[in-house]
Chains A and B, each alone.
Chain A
């Protein structure tokens, strides 16, 4: 088939032959891609709707503000517990993860750096129950079922998340920025902290939020460590503590409609907290210039 030379007058005619086929397949492919994109999003929207529909009827201010031991039982102790455990874990995980990520990127030899990356990959892929098992076997015998054990398990899960994001965002800092700082006679350690990390600050924050989101939703390690309780524990990490995933897990198995409904409502609260956190960070990072 030889190429037909088109003239300007051909452009006004309706396309035919190969051009028509091309138009048709273009339209079909576009439809297919839209459908696959929708297929990815629809279950997510469905899940959120489902949780909302089942959870909202059981949601009330008492549910959020009361403890399970009150006359109108709520999940305040689980919300408080989840927040405490997650915050305590990120306080442990963030410095370790950020320092580790910065080290691997800025200072480690190529060999150590790639070994470190492999280790992070393995840790990221570790099933969370193994982190729970680790704390269960190492910390629980010494301190009993406790917040401390949960913090150990959660930070083991969070560190690789923070470390990986740190590596990614530090890598995005242009080499020229470091050079500019070194050329001003600023020592390497100050350059790393006050220039490189500062340039990547919003990215580092994103990594921490990702880690927090992961920590908030973990269930298996908490069942093996914090165990769950009806008491409200504030900063009492030596005792068993309650957390939202534990509540969801336990209530979902209950025989009565009230508890099952409360499990849905707890899931909704958890979802909203995670969502708010992520959206807040997104807003912050959108306004910054790097990563």
Chain B
């Protein structure tokens, strides 16, 4: 097996502040740009139930990080706490910190609505707005954020659809409803919609689990392309997918109290070929989960 490929760009010497006690998921010395996420002692609750237990994790900028683990281990919950979507559920709370480029996203002065503008999300089931056209779907985030310049909106829509590898398929039918597209196209539409508001980070919650294999491959290809511009965190059940698309992988499991915890994290090839924990090895070998 090859050594993990390490991306690095010349002249990149910006020092990166790594909080002590946080295992660096991939301390590669790569370029430090914006979009660095650090989770510290994160605990996520549904009422009294602790669904995620004390997770500390550093997520590298402009790369793909996969969260894997058996069902119910809190991967999606953890993901949703990163852009503060978790708290839209009644009685759902978060303890610990999530910082993006040093800014505590749970700080008292931080507006969750703005956090979600910076950290976009793509869901398991493609969820285009049913009453909006293809164009309208991509434009929705901009329009509802108060942008009214038509030229600006159409430029961003075109750009986003191109980035989401959907432009060629839909450029002649932008006025058709978003729901008229196939499942895979709808998911790329949702990615375009997320890109349109120019986030730093894109969270993906099992984005391919409702798609057929060909659509899945297209999305995976897209994820690898998007990594150049965005920090991507993807939850997946599919270990092959994690190994295909991600640079780093974090493996979670469920504790005795049914709360999820981080078992280990590292470069993807290392997690899949030389994990340090027996549990990880059993999981990636398909012996449980």
State the A residues within 8 Å of B (CB).
Answer: 174, 176-177, 179-187, 190, 194-195, 198-199, 201, 288-290
Contact = CB atoms under 8 A, between A and B. Distances in A.
B113 A179 contact: no
A289 B130 contact: yes
A290 B131 contact: yes
Contact of B140 (A182, A184, A288): A184
Contacts of A288: 131
Given A180-B190, A185-B116, 16 more contacts: A174-B127, A176-B125, A179-B121, A181-B140, A183-B121, A184-B116, A184-B120, A184-B141, A184-B194, A185-B118, A185-B141, A185-B145, A186-B140, A195-B144, A288-B131, A289-B179
A133 B68 CA distance: 66
A194 B128 CA distance: 14
B191 to A, nearest CB: 12
Contacts of A186: 113, 140-141, 144-145
Nearest to B203: A183
A187 B88 CA distance: 12
14 contacts: A174-B127, A176-B123, A179-B127, A184-B144, A184-B193, A184-B197, A185-B113, A185-B141, A186-B140, A195-B144, A199-B129, A199-B130, A288-B131, A289-B179
A176 B177 CA distance: 17
Contacts of B116: 182-185
B40 to A, nearest CB: 23
Given A185-B141, A185-B145, A177 B127 contact: yes
Q: List the 5 closest pairs (A to B, CB-CB), nearest first.
A: A185-B117, A176-B127, A183-B121, A184-B141, A185-B116
Q: How large is the interface on B (under 10, 10 to 19, 20 to 34, 35 or more residues)?
A: 20 to 34
A195 B193 CA distance: 14
A210 to B, nearest CB: 21
B129 A289 contact: no
A290 B128 CA distance: 13
Interface in B88-123: 88, 113-118, 120-121, 123
A180 B144 contact: no
B131 A289 contact: yes
B77 to A, nearest CB: 14
Contacts of B114: 185
B127 A184 contact: no
B246 interface: no
A122 B166 CA distance: 52
Contact of A190 (B83, B121, B144): B144
B190 to A, nearest CB: 7
Given A194-B144, A289-B131, A183 B125 contact: no
B196 to A, nearest CB: 8
B236 to A, nearest CB: 18
A202 to B, nearest CB: 9
A281 B129 CA distance: 22
B131 A187 contact: no
Nearest to B121: A183
Name, among A179, A180, A183, A195, the residue most crowded by chain B CB atoms within 10 Å (CB to CB): A183
Contacts of B129: 177, 180-181, 195, 198-199
A288 B177 CA distance: 10
Contacts of B190: 180
Contacts of B144: 181, 184, 186, 190, 194-195
Given A174-B127, A187-B113, A179 B88 contact: yes
Interface in B126-155: 127-131, 140-141, 144-145
A132 to B, nearest CB: 39
B266 to A, nearest CB: 29
A108 to B, nearest CB: 11
A198 B133 CA distance: 13
B85 interface: yes
A284 to B, nearest CB: 13
Contacts of A290: 130-131
A198 B120 CA distance: 22
Contacts of A180: 123, 127-129, 190, 193
Nearest to A185: B117
A179 B177 contact: no
A180 B116 CA distance: 11
A62 to B, nearest CB: 45
A179 B86 CA distance: 10
A189 B209 CA distance: 31
A180 B120 CA distance: 9
Nearest to A187: B113
A201 B193 contact: no
A183 B79 CA distance: 12
Contacts of A187: 113
B268 to A, nearest CB: 26
A103 to B, nearest CB: 16
Nearest to B132: A198
A201 B132 CA distance: 12
Nearest to A175: B127
Nearest to A182: B88
Contact of A198 (B118, B121, B128, B131): B131
B256 to A, nearest CB: 31
Contact of A185 (B88, B177, B197): B197
